[in-house]
Amino acid sequence: MLKIVLITGISGSGKSVALRLLEDSGYLCVDNLPVRFLHDFIATTREDGLERVAVAIDVRSPGELEDLPAVITALRASGTEFRVVFLDSNDHTLLQRYSESRRRHPLTDRLATGGKSPSLQECIDTERELLAPLREQEHVIDTSDLTPGQLRAWMRELVQADRSSVVLTFESFAYKRGVPGDADLVFDVRCLPNPHYDRELRPLTGRDDAVAKWLAQFGSVETMIDDIAGFIRRWLPLYMQDTRNYLTVAVGCTGGQHRSVYVTEQLARRFADHSPLLVRHRNQAPVEVP
């Protein structure tokens, strides 16, 4: 069966990294495909017997982005199954990345008036407006504080997930770095006992046995996990009825190292019967799988 991944999102958010990962994974990749060619391209790949295809479409397709949500809806209605991934980053990160790469924003020339070029911030703001309808209906990955290695690992997990059901993702994060923009539900566990103040536990993470045993001794920790799990079990069926393809549950603590990681891991165990299920830790080193 033909597997299609459509990569889109804000310029500078990591689309090139994601596309290269897919190419290395055996996907036929096409960058900057005009929206008007998407129907014909998919039909051709199917006729050629290809099994894995990835396409990148973004703001570089002038005058056509507004048609993309309708094209996606029509393709899905016709029985075409493909995953759409929207990559995003906060403005501070985007400005920093453009400064480091010294690249021009793709909207610079299109927004220039009277011989005057727009600011980078104006380009980013305009791009967000153009892509807003697409962002609201597809799976979003906030790459603001992700390393290229983390993004590659997350993309690898995502494209291997079966799309026959809602992709349920549990994700830990650090409040000191901000709430991730890809979260659908956010739970704050900073009120729980903190292993950070134990010198022996401080360098460890919530995935280490010593930290897990320390947190498990507190009734408040177990109650918090029970409450979050109960909330998700109650409302997940309604999210699934809402034709949603993805649900990301973010759990945050101060540093994203101990409490949020432990709670995220425990929630994943309780929902092990759900497929597909993904577990992510934004502030942990990625595990690269060859």
pLDDT reported for residue 237: 86
- Matching residue, tokens 């005057």: 116
130 CB neighbour count, 10 Å cutoff: 15
pLDDT at 167: 86
Q: Per the annotation, does 15 bind a ligand?
A: yes
Q: Residue 158: its pLDDT value, please?
A: 82
pLDDT of 290:
33
Residue 101 annotated in ligand binding = no
59 annotated ligand binder: yes
> Is 58 annotated in some ligand binding site?
yes
Token reading at 118:
């727009």
Residue 289, marked binder: no
- Mean pLDDT per 10-residue section of the chain, whose length is 290 residues: 87 92 89 87 88 87 74 80 88 91 87 86 91 80 90 84 73 93 94 96 96 97 97 89 78 96 97 91 60
172 among annotated binding-site residues: no
User: In this predicted structure, what is the pLDDT of residue 60?
Assistant: 77
Is 142 labelled a binding residue?
no
13 is in an annotated binding site: yes
206 annotated to a ligand binding site:
no
- Other CB atoms within 10 A of residue 234 CB: 9
Beta strands of the chain (E only): which ranges? Answer: 3-9, 28-31, 52-56, 82-88, 139-142, 167-174, 185-188, 246-253, 277-281
Domains of the chain: 3-160 (3.40.50.300), 167-281 (no CATH)
pLDDT at position 287, please? 44
Is 12 annotated to bind a ligand? Reply is yes
Q: What is the pLDDT of residue 112?
A: 85
Q: 5: buried, middle or exposed (CB in 10 Å: 19+, 13-18, 0-12)?
A: buried
pLDDT computed for residue 32 by the predictor = 87
